[in-house]
Structure 1
Amino acid sequence: MRKALPEDLPMIAEIEKLSFHRPWSFDSIESFYYRKTSDIYVWRDRNRISGYIIAEHVLDQAELHRIAMIPFIRKMGIGTLLFHEFRRRYQEIGVDTIYLEVRESNEAAYQFYLKNGFEEYGRRAKYYKDPIEDAILMFCEISTDDQSFPLDSSETPVYNDERKEENEMKCNVCGQLLNNKTDYIEVKKEWGYFSNKDTQIHEFKICERCYDRIVKQFEISPKVTEKSEILS
């Protein structure tokens, strides 16, 4: 995730049209972009903008106006990653509370905000038009001990990192030493033809603590089954 640039605004306007019943116009987005209090962040995937957040802050208070992703990558957890990185950056600049409003009929957005730490504190009657309906008012207090797992799609992943102890197994996320008393996940992925990493094989290990932090960001939880052992 990075701050939007002026050349990003046309793509933001296109995603806006695909995402909202009453989208902001390009002129409205551009006008907002140049306000001193505005914050527009974009999420990039393979060097293309695939989502954005539009917000603004004054001192320690902020308001979230828009969050949207390209339709075909929704329900993949990317919106959650985008929001958590946005929240982390606001925390770094001293924002304590984020406010927003959402249509009462927009159940998907309402549940998304609840899942990501927002609480309802009131309603604004007949706030929205076409159709007329109430706005649900929500807020999220940013904790100083927030343990969200930040990801930044603008950064290039580092592969084949040199280790001082090549024979030691370590968690690729936190660097913790893995031994015979530590459980972990080991992944080996051979990338295929439709990937930018075609012919590459990637391997990594993740300790249980980092795994728990990562899956909290998933839109859909991993499938978990209990293994039944038969003792002979």
Structure 2
Amino acid sequence: MVRGKTQMRRIENATSRQVTFSKRRNGLLKKAFELSVLCDAEVALVVFSPRGKLYEFASSSMQETIQRYQRRMKDVQTDRTLVEQNMQHLKHEAADMAQKIELLEVTKRKLLGEGLGSCTFEELQQIEHQLERSVSSVRAKKMQVFREQIEKLKQKEKALATENEILCEKQGLNSRKESNEERQNEPCPESNENSDVETKLVIGPPEGRIKRAQQK
């Protein structure tokens, strides 16, 4: 016969309620004992009957287990308190950051010339002074950038001038070398003069040469 499912509600019949309590109490105590033995767990069980009678089970010492539980609950309560305090602190910080962001947005709009209708004369003067300081800072930064660029260009100019001098020296050496080679390749003047000297050769017997010489 299949056992029906017990409804989870108070048993109205007193006798049935007492019988059910006894059975389930014994089963609960047995399960607590098995849990402590099988899993090496520290178990403490306290049950009060409807008439106020105490039933308990402890795997070691009921008092030590209760004290341990109280310490643990105190630590948990402390942790919860710390967590709540941290949450409150974070909420306050978030609210402060939101206000600062809103103020910065308003200041930004005013610096851009927006929303100036509600500004007083003193606020307008403060905005003007702030803009003047900002412009001065921007100009100083711009001049610094210009000076750095000019210095870089001067250094580049020096490097190019040095490179140009080296190239000119190399070109001069090559020109002198070519002129020397051209001089070496020119014909010697003495050889030209010797080649221009007229040679008079006389062909014939000696007497004929003497007569021609006397006639001259």
The two structures have a TM-score, normalised by structure 2, of 0.16
Q: Which has the higher helix share?
A: 2
Of structures 1 and 2, the larger Rg is shown by 2
TM-score, normalization by structure 1: 0.15
> Per chain length, whose mean CA-contact separation is higher, i.e. which structure has more relative contact order (CA < 8 Å, sep 6+)?
1
